[in-house]
Structure 1
């Protein structure tokens, strides 16, 4: 009996137990599985009010655009003025990758000329180290589209504020939004997309 007790308290057994506990602790820290059952909802208003669509592009050289319709008789015509509020330049619907993901992504130009990526009605899973990536990668369905968003040109707009809700992410001033065509909810720890949207001009 004494030998058994001594064997169970020997240095090798203690080292194995310490290693096992350490491995479990590291696994919990790395994967953070409890986040799959913890939702965080963030609701942000768009800075500057309700957005409008961007005005149509100017007619190519040599072509003339149709003149504006005349105001009804007896009514003064409204003076034309550029839009002063936020303008939606491009948008797209999120598709699911590793986790079920839905919502709308918009590229919005604010009245001061700055840009934001806006997530509206986002619904995805929570997870460790989730970020919003603006990228030049194509959006593909299925596993083929899970890991492509850090392969080419991309910029992180910061950590995901919440896995549910509507949120704004500022573009750095040096970023030209025309260089990018997609947005991914990206798990930086495991290099995998939870969901992504292709941005199409509106």
Structure 2
């Protein structure tokens, strides 16, 4: 008799948990932010289209970074520029620190943050210290001067190959941190 009560209680708790999970899924799926991308339809609504786009961000007399793109579509109201065939150079305390090229990107013209991505091949990030970083997506936060990604990462240079997931790079401290699932291999010298 008591087993029947226990089974009934467990069944009731299971049904309540299932309803709660369904509720959470419905709420979270309805409010999930959509990622903006450089879709051709959205590109047609731009306020300005610029070929051979160049943007240099400075502080005082010091260049912080430069963005060059084959094409840019500027959206004044959204304070962003959607870029095609992009090259970015970031400058640190010692001058040029790293360069990255990508198929497309988005530049926030107000915060000076940007995001770069490639459609097929990984982004290639070359540091002046001789390392090459490969990843599919990269975000720059101008206020903290950090690059970041949550995608898989591979870093090659100076006889090392580091792989993992996620990257946080502090440009001013010249530090790069692979965030998860880190593997380090000694690479043969070329």
TM-score (norm 2): 0.30
Between structures 1 and 2, the one with greater strand share? 2
Larger radius of gyration: 1
Q: Which one has more relative contact order, counting CA pairs under 8 Å at least 6 apart?
A: 1
Q: TM-score, normalised by structure 1?
A: 0.29
